[in-house]
Amino acid sequence: MDKNRVLVFDTTLRDGEQCPGASLGVPEKVAIAHQLARLNVDIIEAGFPVSSEAQFNATKIIANEVKGPVIAALARCVDLDIDKAAEALKGAEKPRIHTFVATSKIHLEKKFRKSEDEVLQMAIAGVKRAKSYFDDIEFSPEDSSRTGKEFLFRIIEAAIKSGATTINVPDTVGYSNPDEFGALIREIFNTVPNIDKAIISVHCHNDLGLAVANTLAGIRNGAGQAELTINGIGERAGNASLEEVVMSLKTRAGYYNKTVNINTREIINTSRMVSTLMGIPVQPNKAIVGANAFAHESGIHQDAMIKDASTYEIMTPKEVGLDASKIVLGRHSGRHGLKQRLTELGYQLSQDELNHIYDRFLEIADKKKEVFDEDLMALVGDENADDKDAYRLEYFHILSGNKAIPTATIVLNYQDKSIQEASVGDGPIDAAFKAIDRIIQVPLKLTEYSLRGVTGGKDAIGEVLVRVANNGNKFLGRGASTDIIEASIRAYLNAVNKSLQIQNKESQSNSTKAEL
Ligand code: KIV
Ligand code: ZN
């Protein structure tokens, strides 16, 4: 490999998904993985297969379907983890097992109660077992930046000797700073005798807001791979943001003298997809992908921009795929045109999903003159279209006013039967949710509700996100409509249907176990 090339390892679907509140279903993960392939990342970390059935299934489907990037799966240095990761990766064109064990004194004493030698043996055994399945093996000494150097160098050397081809150096708790982290990477190169047989990777968390700076310092000091997430999402304060690292390397190419193979024009689509499907909005002033990243407010700036954009823009909006928002389709657009535009935006839909979205699109196009990309993205995924047992909204009627008791009548369709209920509530949305609760008769707890206008104007689509808790699990629901009460009902139903799907699966597997 060209020594100036930096491999982009995307961990949005693994570390990113550990972000509080960001739980993705299998279809959403697969959609994001396809989009990451369009972005042209080098490696997709698809999940942590041993951790749940959903993680295993998502990794397996991604390994089977997504071609181009290496597909990686995470595993502790534990036999069961490694075997599960290997099984999930069986169908991958280019599989990689990423195995890790904590190495810092704090973790060894407080988490494991193991000695350095015991952990060293775990690392050797883990890498060797992973190597018995595939050639491409990554090893991470977790909490590297707080690990004693002598032990860190020893375990890296042993992991390479056992077959690791990539050594990842995580700043697991975001404790390091750029000078220190860059020096650590340099020292690894200068000290570990067999380091020329592996690529060094950097994996930085953002607890002190330094994840991108630390990653770039690692790259300046020779790291050949960077582990990143879209929108910088991830455990606690998140991981280093892919778009920020990539655009830094590109915009300051003369300074870094490194190349990446990313199709930067897919950055905005990917960012929006991840934000929408995870239900985590991007802050407006976020670098590269925030709504204000290319907005110029002051008169002096606007005047200069008209004369020459380079006065106040160091990269063009076009480079990151931010062309002016397009009116894509109207009332007379056909199913084919809708499908094509959604595919361009990164969505791959089943025929049932497409049919549902098309019906919704026609309703929206009737109410709104202009349908934007953002409107389409808000519509995708609020329908549970592939779920035959989903409750669907047939009809709602709301009575509300400053002197009236808010009352909702809801008719849902369930397995081709209409079910009607009514309820009063503190407001029209509360009344509607209570009427739905009466129909489904499952004790759900609403833990979060938010509403945003998707595009500008009085006829903008409102997108509602809700989170509901059922039996300790949390479910995200999204709903979109030009009517905010309808959007709220759709979001609630979306979450309800997801939670019932899991509940049905669990009771099916319990009854199978009981029969055995
Ligand atoms: O932050 C971390 O240390 C990790 C490892 C599993 C690589 O995510
Ligand atoms: Zn991490």
Residue-wise pLDDT for 422-468, tens only, equals 999 999 999 999 999 999 998 889 999 999 888 777 778 888 999 99
Window from 90-104, 217-231, 232-246, 291-305 with minimum mean pLDDT: 291-305
> What distance in angstroms lies between residue 440's CA and the mean position of ligand 2's atoms?
39
CA distance 251 to 242: 14
> What distance in angstroms lies between residue 211's CA and the mean position of ligand 2's atoms?
11
Cβ of 144 less than 6 Å from ligand 1: no
Specify the higher pLDDT residue, 36 or 387: 36
**Band of the pLDDT at 508, cuts 50, 70, 90?**
low
User: By alpha-carbon position, which residue is closest to atom 8 of ligand 1?
Assistant: 15
Cβ of 375 less than 6 Å from ligand 1: no
Cβ of 239 less than 6 Å from ligand 1: no
Window from 166-170, 246-250, 474-478 with minimum mean pLDDT: 474-478
> What distance in angstroms lies between residue 232's CA and the mean position of ligand 2's atoms?
11
> What distance in angstroms lies between residue 33's CA and the mean position of ligand 1's atoms?
20
Asked if residues 75 and 107 have their Cβ atoms less than 8 Å apart, the reply is: no
> 59: buried, middle or exposed (CB in 10 Å: 19+, 13-18, 0-12)?
buried
Three-class DSSP category at 231:
helix
Asked if residues 260 and 248 have their Cβ atoms less than 8 Å apart, the reply is: no
Cβ of 139 less than 6 Å from ligand 1: no
Nearest Cα to Cα of residue 383 among 487, 484, 505, 281: 487
Cβ of 16 less than 6 Å from ligand 1: no
Average pLDDT over residues 104-117: 94
Asked if residues 88 and 56 have their Cβ atoms less than 8 Å apart, the reply is: yes
Cβ of 241 less than 6 Å from ligand 1: no
> What distance in angstroms lies between residue 89's CA and the mean position of ligand 2's atoms?
21
- Residue 110 vs residues 103, 105, 115, 116, 143: alpha-carbon distances, Å: 12, 8, 11, 13, 13
Nearest ligand atom owner, CA of 235? 2
Same fold, 7-278 and 392-509: no
Nearest ligand atom owner, CA of 103? 1
68's torsion region: left (phi>0), alpha (psi -120 to 50) or beta? left
Report the pLDDT value the prediction gives residue 512, as an integer from 0 to 100: 52
Report the pLDDT value the prediction gives residue 516, as an integer from 0 to 100: 47
Nearest Cα to Cα of residue 491 among 434, 441, 450: 450
Cβ of 347 less than 6 Å from ligand 1: no
Q: Rg of the chain's alpha carbons, rounded to an integer?
A: 25
CA distance 178 to 211: 9
Residue 37 CB partners (closer than 8 Å, separation 6+): 44, 66, 67, 68, 69
Cβ of 170 less than 6 Å from ligand 1: yes
How does pLDDT run across 480-503, given as a tens digit for each residue? 898 999 999 999 999 999 888 877
> What distance in angstroms lies between residue 173's CA and the mean position of ligand 1's atoms?
9
7-278 CATH fold: TIM Barrel (3.20.20)
Average pLDDT over residues 39-51: 97
Report the pLDDT value the prediction gives residue 324, as an integer from 0 to 100: 53
Average pLDDT over residues 179-203: 98
Nearest ligand atom owner, CA of 102? 1
> What distance in angstroms lies between residue 14's CA and the mean position of ligand 1's atoms?
10
CA distance 171 to 236: 13
CA distance 398 to 396: 7
Cβ of 100 less than 6 Å from ligand 1: yes
Helix H or strand E encompassing 332: none
Specify the higher pLDDT residue, 442 or 72: 72
Position in ligand 1 atom list of the atom nearest CA 205: 1
Report percent pLDDT > 90 for the chain.
Answer: 68
Pocket test for ligand 1, best of 100, 107, 156 (most atoms within 8 A of CB): 100
Q: Which overall architecture, per CATH, does domain 392-509 show?
A: 2-Layer Sandwich (3.30)
Residue in the structure block whose two tokens are 């390397």: 249
How does pLDDT run across 119-147, given as a tens digit for each residue? 999 999 999 999 999 999 999 999 999 99
Cβ of 15 less than 6 Å from ligand 1: yes
Report the pLDDT value the prediction gives residue 386, as an integer from 0 to 100: 63
Cβ of 279 less than 6 Å from ligand 1: no
> What distance in angstroms lies between residue 167's CA and the mean position of ligand 2's atoms?
14
Residue in the structure block whose two tokens are 């100036």: 4
Q: DSSP of 158-178, one letter per residue? A: HHHHHT-SEEEEEETTS---H
Report percent pLDDT > 70 for the chain.
Answer: 94
> What distance in angstroms lies between residue 324's CA and the mean position of ligand 2's atoms?
35
Cβ of 107 less than 6 Å from ligand 1: no
> What distance in angstroms lies between residue 98's CA and the mean position of ligand 2's atoms?
12
Nearest ligand atom owner, CA of 143? 1
Report the pLDDT value the prediction gives residue 506, as an integer from 0 to 100: 66
Cβ of 381 less than 6 Å from ligand 1: no
Report the pLDDT value the prediction gives residue 427, as an integer from 0 to 100: 95
Give the global pTM: 0.88
- Residue 510 pLDDT greater than 80, yes or no: no
Domain boundaries, the chain: 7-278, 295-321, 335-382, 392-509
Position in ligand 1 atom list of the atom nearest CA 11: 8
Q: DSSP of 258-309, one letter per residue? A: -B----GGGHHHHHHHHHHHHT-PPPTT-TTTSTTTT---SHHHHHHHHH-G
Cβ of 172 less than 6 Å from ligand 1: yes
Side-chain half-sphere CA neighbours of 189 within 13 A: 16
- Residue 383 pLDDT greater than 70, yes or no: no
